[in-house]
Amino acid sequence: VGLGLIGGSLARDLTEAGWTVRGLVHRESTARQARELGLADVVATDPAILAGCELVVLALPLDRLLAPAPDLLAALPPGAVVTDVGSVKGPVLRVWQPRHRRFVAGHPMAGATDVGVAAARAGLFRGRPWALTPVAGTDEAAIRTVRCLVDTVGAHPLMAGAEDHDRAVALISHLPVLVGAALLQAADGEPEAEVAALARRLASSGFADTTRVGGGNPELGTLMARTNRGALLHGLARYRRSLEDLEAMVREEDWPRLQASLEGSRAVRDRYVGASSPQATGSGNPRS
């Protein structure tokens, strides 16, 4: 259900793997495009297409996932395993758990800069983590079916509690949005026109990278904050303290402590995303 970047890429990989895939989309124009791209065996805008499906993947935007259309709910085969790809799991479970007894919540950590049906591509999930957050009582066979889906596209299934998942993505996905957004606003708030103009002209890869998600889709950023508010506020409070500590070191000119702190940050980054890229230090010139 949904053939955007995630749904479309999934359909492509599964078709390739020999599965029979039916795509349900909202607009006839999307259906046409998906058919032209050969993303699925059948593509339609009528939910009746779901009849007989053993596994239904809800690859919808989070807001539509959280307020599912009645005709979609009515068309779900009662015995089918249903999963989703939404980036928060608590709110999704609160909506879907009571509505479908074989629901298994999921979240593939894969993406790309393009969106929509034209962005669908083979191998998007290969080697990426795919979180699954079954609740107590989720039937084992349903979990196995979704794991099989994850395995088929080459992703690594990662079992987690929904609450833990949402707190983890608050730190690594949702907090970076606000952190980057605030940096953009701080730069933009420079009162001296000369300095502001210069900052715009000198801004380079360091600024671009740090603000990439912060300057991303505003609807999505808002939706994430809304659906994961508690965890995000916790992360923000801790972030604020970390920043205040760093600021104090600069204010107090405690350079040994600042350097030790930045060494700590580098070590954290190594643990999180592998060895950090060294910067251009040879000339005192950062990759700026």
Would you list the DSSP string of 99-144? T-TTEE-EEE----S--SGGG--TTTTTT-EEEE-PPTT--HHHHH
Closest CB to a second copy among residues 51, 185: 185
Residue 72: what residue type?
Answer: L
**What are the distances in angstroms from CA 246 to CA 180, 209, 240, 257, 264?**
17, 21, 10, 9, 12
Listed residue (213, 219, 143) closest to 171, CA to CA: 213
Q: How far is the CB of 76 from a second copy (least distance, A)?
A: 18
Closest CB to a second copy among residues 131, 150: 131
Q: How far is CA 140 from the centre of its chain?
A: 26
Q: How far is the CB of 171 from a second copy (least distance, A)?
A: 5
Closest CB to a second copy among residues 145, 180: 180
Q: How far is the CB of 193 from a second copy (least distance, A)?
A: 10
DSSP class of 190: -
Closest CB to a second copy among residues 141, 275: 275
Q: How far is the CB of 141 from a second copy (least distance, A)?
A: 25
What beta strand segments (E) does 33-104 contain?
A: 42-44, 55-58, 81-84, 103-104
Closest CB to a second copy among residues 45, 52: 45
Q: How far is the CB of 118 from a second copy (least distance, A)?
A: 10
